[in-house]
Structure 1
Amino acid sequence: MILRKELISCVFLSVFALVFGCTNYSTTTSVQAPPTLVSITNNGNSNFTIKVRAQNPEFIFQGYRLYQAPTETLAQNPTDTNLGSDCLLAQAAIVQPIEYLFEVDPSTNPNTAGVSCRIFATLTPGSYISMRTLGLAVNLSNSTSSFRVSLPSNVLIVP
Structure 2
Amino acid sequence: MAEETPRSSRAKMNIVSFLFRCPCAVLFPFLVIGCTNYSTTASVQAPPTLISVVNNGNSNFTIKVRAQNPEFIFQGYRLYSGISEKEVQNPTDLNLGSDCILGPSTLVQPTEYTFEIDPSTKANATGITCRIFATLTPGTYIAMRTLGLAINLQNSSSSFKVSTSSNALIVP
**2:42 counterpart SS class:** coil
- Aligned pairs (5 A) from 1:1-159: 16-91=29-104, 94=107, 96-159=109-172
User: Are the aligned partners of 2:82 and 2:140 in contact in 1 as well (CA < 8 Å)?
Assistant: yes
Which one has the largest radius of gyration? Answer: 2
* Distance in 2 separating the partners of 1:108 and 1:24: 46
My pick for the range that moved more, 126-135 or 19-28, is 19-28
Cα distance, 1:93 vs structure 2: 8.0
SS at structure 1 position matched to 2:36: coil
Specify every segment of 5 or more residues in structure 2 that has no aligned partner in the other structure, as ranges.
Answer: 1-6, 20-24
TM-score, with length taken from structure 1? 0.88
> Is the 2:78–2:97 contact (alpha carbons within 8 Å) kept by the matching residues of 1?
yes
What displacement does 1:101 show? 0.3
- Which letter maps to 1:128? Y
Q: How many Å apart are 1:143 and its aligned residue?
A: 1.1
Three-state SS of the structure 1 residue aligned to 2:32 is helix
> CA 1:48 to 1:19, structure 2 compared with 1: closer, same or farther past 3 Å?
same
AA partner of residue 145 (structure 1): S
Identity %: 69
Rounded to whole Å, the distance in 1 between the matches of 2:117 and 2:27 is 49
1:20, distance to aligned residue in structure 2 (A): 2.5
TM-score (norm. length: structure 2): 0.82
Q: What is the distance in 2 between the residues matched to 1:14 and 1:53? A: 36
Deviates more, 1:24-33 or 1:127-136: 24-33
Give the 3-state SS of the residue equivalent to 1:75 in structure 2: helix
Question: 1:120–1:19: structure 2 CA closer, same or farther, 3 Å change rule?
Answer: same
For 1:107 and 1:86, locate their aligned partners in 2 and report how far apart those are by CA, in whole Å: 15
Instruction: Tell whether the 8 Å contact from 2:147 to 2:161 is kept in structure 1 after alignment.
Output: yes
3-state SS of 1:91 partner? coil
Greater than 6 Å deviation, 4+ residue runs: 1-5, 11-14
Aligned residues: 156
1:23-70 Cα deviation digits (max 9, x unpaired) = 132111111000000000000110000000000111110000000010
